[in-house]
């Protein structure tokens, strides 16, 4: 791989100073940092709401909050976590930072649009905040009609507008990534030499630009219905309340893949790096990302098995859902096989990898219960679903995000953090997570419905376990805030390639100079080209 180390271009962090130079930057790395700071704040807000919910549920009576308040809090927890943290997390932070570097280019295709996306994102967040100060929203993040369109007296319109605006930010980011991957790859960097992270972000971007307009229109219809009483979803005016669910899940099911596909991409990079080995079955992993993105669009109806949708439609949705499980299983087996005969290090990224594998596997397999129509009848809208989607979104996506943050932090900031702290955090998150969410599978199986602010007393033990787990989890999440911040001040300077990993990003200094590469990049080898140092017998 030809590259340029050495010539000490000023790092992107040092280049021009001052707030304005950051707020008007067109550098993809600085924009990634802007996103990092914003979504970290939103994550903290969302987590505070989660803590409040768990505190309330420690006792069976609704004694901490009144039911109205409770409904508003779980709605905000969902809205903030999904639209303002999870969807932008890996794509907007790690994707923004790494995609141009991994493609061997100086920036994204449209640097100004990239900055614009961040401003739109912030604008969306401010509008949503306005809804909070305007009394809150109590519809759940799913905004189901006709409750949201005719019954709720909360600030649904403002919140819907916030989500609508935020959607444009995803669309622009996705567009930017797609054009960059198509047009700006370095000479010699063919599609099948791309890191798998780029494939995953590419597939995610396709989902973003195809799906997001649908949710944008859907929430706009709700706002319009509230303002003008148009009656799209109101049966007394000839509308169909279930139509909303189709429109909503047409985006929101693929949105789950917007959250998890990038994490899968991160895992592929991490597994290869910690085992110093080519990812097992590169093309299967690459194509399974595309397969998941495509199939993901065809399964929305599995949220509607008991919605009065026809049972034949249910049949089709159920079978396609089962099909999505296959590429996910393939990926899991391929990651596992990558470690076989690897040279596996036990540094902090490995801890996140192992944690991810455990949680994602449980999350994925419990999805099969829900895809099985006969069982979904009993489980849907119970805590089983809450547990399942937290295993995927929190166990999978956030483990992936944190794993990626730990892996690339030295590259992004030029500093090394405390390995001990990172390992402790990964372990606490893993233990706390299982303690929080595993009992919820049991609660769901026993029939505890979701979005309940009080519940029958016989379920208190499991709920207390879950709340206790949430405290452990919270500590696990808080730790990195300390040692990562500390590393910025006191951390040792990071070398260009602290993990001994392969990939263009490891060929440039940490932190990278403003224009990434001094010379033009030419790539002449496949991704993850670790050459065995000594003779290894391949069985």
Partner 1 sequence: MDMLYLFIAAISAFFVVLVAALVVIFAVKFRRRHAEDVGADIHGSLVLELTWTFIPFAIAMVMFVWGADLFFRLGRPPADAMDVFVVGKQWMWKVQHPSGVREINEMHVPVGRPIRITLGSEDVLHDYFIPAMRVKMDAVPGKLTTLWFTATTPGTYHLFCAEYCGTKHSGMIGQVIVMPPQAYEAWIAANQPSINLVEAGQRLFEHGQQCSACHKEDGSGRGPSLAGLFGSTVQLADGRTAVADENYLRESIVNPSAKIARGFSSPSIMPTYQGSMSEERLIELVAYLKTLRPSRSE
DSSP 302: G
Of partner 1, ligand HEM, none, which one sits near residue 536, judging by CB under 5 to 8 A according to partner kind? partner 1
Q: What tokens were used for 506?
A: 């490891």
Would you say 430 and 438 are in contact if contact means Cβ atoms under 8 Å apart? no
Q: What does the DSSP 8-state code read for residue 453?
A: S
Among 330, 427, 464, 465, binds partner 1 (CB under 8 A): 330
Given candidates 470, 479, 494, 504, which one binds ligand HEM under the rule CB under 6 A? 470
By CB under 6 A, residue 86 contacts ligand HEM: yes
Q: Please give the Cα distance from 478 to 465 (Å, whole number).
A: 20
Q: Is 518 in the site for partner 1 (CB under 8 A)?
A: no
Does 119 participate in binding partner 1 (rule CB under 8 A)? no
Select from 186, 200, 473, 523 the one that contacts ligand HEM (CB under 6 A). 473
Residues 35, 83, 84, 85: which binds ligand HEM (CB under 6 A)? 85
Give the residue, chosen from 88, 124, 241, 349, that forms a contact with partner 1 under the rule CB under 8 A: 241
Residue 258 burial class via C-beta count within 10 angstroms: exposed 0-12, middle 13-18, buried 19 and up: buried
Burial class (CB in 10 A: 0-12, 13-18, 19+), 286: buried
Stretch touching ligand HEM by CB under 6 A, among 135-143, 147-155, 250-258, 281-289: 135-143
Which residues in 264-283 contact ligand HEM (CB under 6 A)?
Answer: none
| Interacting residue with partner 1 among 8, 20, 308, 519 (CB under 8 A) | 308
Picking from 393, 402, 392, the residue whose alpha carbon sits closest to that of residue 361 is 392
CB of 112 to partner 1, least distance (A): 41
Interaction partner, residue 78 (partner 1, ligand HEM, none; CB < 5-8 Å by kind): ligand HEM
Residue 155 binds partner 1 (CB under 8 A): no
Residues 417-456 that bind ligand HEM (CB under 6 A): 436, 450-451
Q: Give 138: exposed, middle or buried? Use CB within 10 Å, 0-12, 13-18, 19+.
A: buried
Interface positions, 10-49, toward ligand HEM (CB under 6 A): 47
* Strands (DSSP E) found in 268-331: none
Burial class (CB in 10 A: 0-12, 13-18, 19+), 100: buried
Confirm if 200 and 291 have CB atoms less than 8 A apart. Answer: no
Count the site residues for partner 1 by CB under 8 A.
96
Count of residues of this chain found to bind ligand HEM when the rule CB under 6 A is applied: 25
**Phi, psi values for residue 11, rounded to 5°:** -70, 155
Closest CA to 245 of 354, 390, 144, 324: 144
Of 1-9, 234-242, 387-395, 421-429, the segment contacting ligand HEM by CB under 6 A is 387-395
Candidates 138, 225, 269, 505; binder of partner 1 (CB under 8 A) is 138
Count the Cβ atoms, other than its own, within 10 Å of residue 184.
17
Beta bridge partners of 338: none
Among 31, 94, 172, 386, binds ligand HEM (CB under 6 A): 386
- 236, exposed or middle or buried, with CB in 10 Å at 0-12, 13-18, 19+? exposed
Restricted to residues 340-379, the positions that interact with partner 1 (CB under 8 A) are: 340-346, 350, 354, 357-358, 361-362, 365-366, 368-369, 371-378
Nearer of residues 81 and 200 to ligand HEM, judged by Cβ: 81
- Both tokens assigned to 512: 């990278």
Q: Is 465 within 8 Å of 435 (Cβ atoms)? A: yes
Interacting positions 339-378 with ligand HEM (CB under 6 A): none
The separation between CA 196 and the C-alpha centre of its own chain, rounded to angstroms, equals 16
Q: Which does 460 bind (CB under 5 to 8 A by kind): ligand HEM, partner 1, none?
A: none
Pick the piece of the chain touching partner 1 (CB under 8 A) from 101-109, 184-192, 337-345, 516-524.
337-345
Q: Which positions lie near ligand HEM, rule CB under 6 A?
A: 47, 50, 53-54, 74-75, 77-78, 81-82, 85-86, 140-142, 386, 390, 393-394, 398, 436, 450-451, 470, 473
């Amino acid at each position: 791989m030809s590259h340029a180390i050495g010539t000490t271009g000023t790092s992107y962090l040092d280049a021009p100073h001052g707030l304005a130079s950051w707020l008007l930057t067109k550098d993809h790395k600085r924009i990634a940092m802007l996103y990092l700071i914003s979504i970290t704040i939103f994550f903290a807000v969302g987590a505070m709401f989660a803590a409040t919910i768990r505190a309330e549920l420690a006792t069976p009576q609704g004694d901490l909050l009144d039911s109205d308040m409770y409904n508003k809090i779980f709605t905000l927890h969902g809205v903030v976590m999904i639209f303002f943290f999870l969807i932008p997390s890996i794509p907007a932070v790690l994707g923004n930072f790494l995609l141009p570097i991994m493609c061997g280019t100086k920036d994204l295709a449209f640097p100004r649009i990239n900055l614009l996306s961040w401003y739109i994102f912030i604008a969306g967040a401010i509008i949503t905040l306005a809804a909070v100060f305007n009394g809150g929203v109590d519809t759940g993040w799913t905004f189901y009609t006709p409750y949201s369109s005719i019954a709720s007296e909360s600030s649904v319109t403002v919140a819907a507008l916030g989500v609508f605006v935020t959607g444009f930010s995803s669309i622009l980011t996705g567009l930017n990534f797609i054009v960059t991957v198509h047009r700006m790859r370095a000479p010699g960097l063919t599609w099948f030499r791309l890191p798998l992270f780029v494939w995953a972000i590419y597939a995610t971007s396709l989902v973003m630009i195809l799906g997001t307009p649908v949710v944008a229109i859907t929430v706009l219809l709700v706002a319009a219905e509230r303002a003008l009483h148009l009656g799209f979803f109101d049966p007394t005016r000839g509308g169909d309340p279930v139509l909303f669910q189709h429109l909503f899940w047409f985006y929101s099911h693929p949105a789950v893949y917007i959250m998890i596909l990038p994490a899968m991409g991160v895992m592929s990079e991490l597994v290869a790096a910690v085992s110093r080995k080519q990812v097992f079955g590169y093309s299967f992993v690459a194509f399974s990302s595309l397969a998941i993105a495509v199939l993901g669009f065809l399964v929305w109806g599995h949220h509607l098995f008991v919605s009065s949708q026809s049972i034949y439609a249910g049949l089709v949705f159920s079978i396609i859902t089962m099909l999505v499980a296959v590429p996910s299983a393939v990926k899991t087996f391929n990651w596992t096989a990558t470690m076989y005969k690897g040279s596996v290090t036990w540094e902090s990224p490995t801890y996140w990898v192992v944690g991810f594998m455990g949680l994602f596997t449980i999350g994925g397999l419990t999805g099969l219960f829900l895809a099985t129509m006969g069982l979904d009848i009993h489980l849907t809208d119970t805590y089983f679903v809450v547990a399942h989607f937290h295993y995927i979104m929190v166990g999978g996506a956030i483990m992936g995000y944190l794993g990626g943050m730990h892996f690339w932090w030295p590259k992004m900031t030029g500093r090394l953090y405390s390995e001990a702290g990172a390992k402790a955090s990964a372990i606490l998150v893993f233990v706390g997570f299982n303690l929080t969410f595993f009992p919820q599978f049991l609660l769901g199986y026993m029939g505890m419905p979701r979005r309940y602010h009080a519940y029958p007393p016989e379920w208190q033990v499991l709920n207390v376990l879950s709340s206790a787990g949430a405290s452990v989890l919270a500590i696990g999440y808080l730790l990195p805030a300390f040692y990562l911040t500390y590393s910025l001040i006191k951390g040792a300077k990071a070398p260009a390639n602290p993990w001994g990993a392969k990939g263009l990003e490891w060929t440039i200094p940490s932190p990278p100079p403003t224009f990434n590469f001094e010379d033009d990049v030419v790539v002449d080898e496949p991704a993850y080209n670790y050459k065995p140092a000594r003779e290894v017998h391949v069985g």
